[in-house]
Every structure is written in C-alpha cells, then in structure tokens.
A = this chain, B = another copy of it.
Amino acid sequence: MEYTVQQLAKLSGVSGRTLRYYDEIGLLKPARLSSSGYRIYGQKEVDLLQQILFYRELEVSLEEITSIIHHPDFDLISALQQHVQKLQEKHARLEQIISTVQKTIENKEGGTLMTDEEKFEGFKKKLINENEKKYGKEVREQYGDEVVDDSNAKMMGLSEDDFKKMQEVEKEFLEELKKGYETGDPASPEAQKAVELHKKWLSFTWPQYSKEAHAGLGDMYVSDERFTAYYDQHIEGGTRFLRDAIYVYAGK
C-alpha cells in the first residue's frame, strides 16, 4: 500500500504539516517521490511512523526519537526507565498542583458563596491555624503553652460582635500608626496613642497583658517577614516604627 501525505495523515491521525516536518528534520522520509514531486510513503514508513508516534506518546523529544530510530544499539531499556521515572515525578507533581488549585478554588468560593457566619467561622479557624503553624512554636517557647492555648481559646470564644469590634480597633490603630509615622517620632503623642490602640487590640485575644510581652511581639513583627509584609503593606517601614514606639511605651 502506498500513501500520499494526506492519506497517511488521515490514517495515522497526525497532520500533513507534521509529516512534512518529520521529513524536513530527517525523522521520517518518504519511500520515494512521484514524478511530479509528491511524497509517497510505503509500508515500512507506516510502521516507522507507528513507532515514532509511540515514543511521542511517551513525551520523548523528536531528537531523541531520531536517535532511537536510527541507532538500534541505543540503550533503550535504561532510557525508558529513566523516562518512566521522570514521568512518575511529573505525575506526582501534577497531583500536588491539582490539589493546590482545588484548595484555591475552595478558598475563593468560600469568599463568595459562604454566608457571613460561615465566613467568620472559617476565618477565625484559619487565623488560628496559621498563627499556630508560623509562630506557635516561637511563642510557646517564649511564653509557655498556657498563654498560646488561652489565646487561641479566647479567639475561638470571641463572639462575632467582638470580632467586629476587634477589626474596628485594628483599623483605628492603623490610622493612628500612620499619623504617628508621619511625625517621624516614635515618642510623639500620635505614635503613643497608636501603641495604646495596639494594646487594646491585643487584649481581645491575649489572656493578660505585659509590657515585656508587648515589646517582644514588636521584635517578632520586625524579624518575621509575614508581619513585616502585613504592616508595611499599609505603611512602608511601619513595622520598625511600631516596634520603636512600643519600646518607648514599654520604657525599654
């Protein structure tokens, strides 16, 4: 059986362009040319194309396929074994990616589809989770388990009403921090008022307040990129300024 480009294309499912390309790069040349220059493929070429498509399925590059096809002494097995390993890694990675995308969707959906009540619940839990994960260890080491657990318990125990109040206080605090920052002086009345608002904000979740702990928290803010990012998002350099203001407040 002999085939022209289009016939072989239909037979094999690849495009005519692909066959011409394979000819161009020397991967699969037609058996002969017709008198008018048409490419004519024979049985051998059909079989070869099957082989090529097989390796292509395996995501082997055409360059490698050319090697495999043209050098029968090519170490096929170890090449395939390496290949299967790469595929498995890719497979695992894809799994990871899919689950991340799904989680992202869940979160985003949560933001648009959940009731305010549910949102509130989810938010609180998430906050505690994140705090636990990122700072739990550090804080536990410095202040002991009781403080952390109490803080979490208190946060979970917050009513939605209190939570809203807490958010309002935070907003007030950020505004005052900005005013203070503009004076450039951590000891300015504005900066000190900001620190007091910060203290008020903390009392929503802190079991008991101490100036030392407050100052320590300021240090953590500065040294931890997540907090730095959070406060600097509102005021560039605000984190350091807040720490300095807390130092003044705590008389440190």
Q: Which residues of A contact B (CB under 8 A)?
A: 1, 43, 47, 57-59, 76-77, 80-81, 83-84, 87-88, 90-91, 94-95, 97-98, 100-102, 104-105, 108-109, 112, 229, 232-233, 236
Q: Which of B57, B91, B102 contacts A84 (CB 8 A)?
A: B102
CA–CA, A234 and B232, complex, Å: 71
Q: Do A87 and B108 have beta carbons less than 8 Å apart? A: no
Q: Do B94 and A94 have beta carbons less than 8 Å apart? A: yes
Chain B residue numbers with a CB within 8 Å of A109 are 77
Chain B residue numbers with a CB within 8 Å of A57 are 97, 100
Chain B residue numbers with a CB within 8 Å of A229 are 43, 47
> A95 — nearest CB in chain B belongs to which residue?
B91
Among A97, A101, A232, A233, the most chain B Cβ lie within 10 Å of the Cβ of A101
Q: Do B43 and A108 have beta carbons less than 8 Å apart? A: no
Measured between C-beta atoms, what is the minimum distance from A87 to chain B in Å? 5
Q: Which of B90, B95, B232 contacts A43 (CB 8 A)?
A: B232
CA–CA, A112 and B94, complex, Å: 34
Chain B residue numbers with a CB within 8 Å of A47 are 229, 233
Q: Which of B43, B58, B90, B95 contacts A236 (CB 8 A)?
A: B43
